């Protein structure tokens, strides 16, 4: 649990980094979800397996993919009024 808390602090640092970029929160969410997925997969591969471990890996992987797709879709949309 403490490693997931560390991962969340890294993601929070990315989301709150100073600047005027509107997508910092999205980058923080992608960072957390991806790192959590990788860590949980690592824990599962070394042999610590619970009943909800692999579903949690799948949920974090799916969430990461959906967040990246949303960002790409947002980039392709034309600006309003152009």
Per-residue pLDDT tens for 1-55? Answer: 789 999 999 999 989 988 778 788 889 999 999 999 999 999 999 987 888 999 9
Please give the Cα distance from 40 to 21 (Å, whole number): 30
Per DSSP, 9 falls in state H
The DSSP call for residue 81 is: T
Inter-residue contact 48 to 56 (CB < 8 Å): no
d(CA 64, CA 11): 13
Is-contact 5 18, C-beta < 8 A?
A: no
- Note the pTM of the prediction, 2 decimals: 0.82
Longest dimension (CA), the chain: 55
């Amino acid at each position: 649990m403490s490693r997931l808390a560390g991962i969340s602090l890294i993601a929070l640092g990315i989301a709150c980094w100073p600047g005027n970029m509107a997508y910092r929160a999205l980058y923080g969410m992608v960072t957390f979800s991806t790192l959590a997925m990788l860590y949980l997969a690592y824990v599962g591969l070394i042999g610590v397996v619970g009943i909800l471990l692999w579903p949690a890996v799948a949920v974090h992987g799916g969430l990461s993919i959906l967040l990246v797709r949303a960002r790409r879709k947002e980039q392709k949309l034309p600006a309003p009024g152009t």
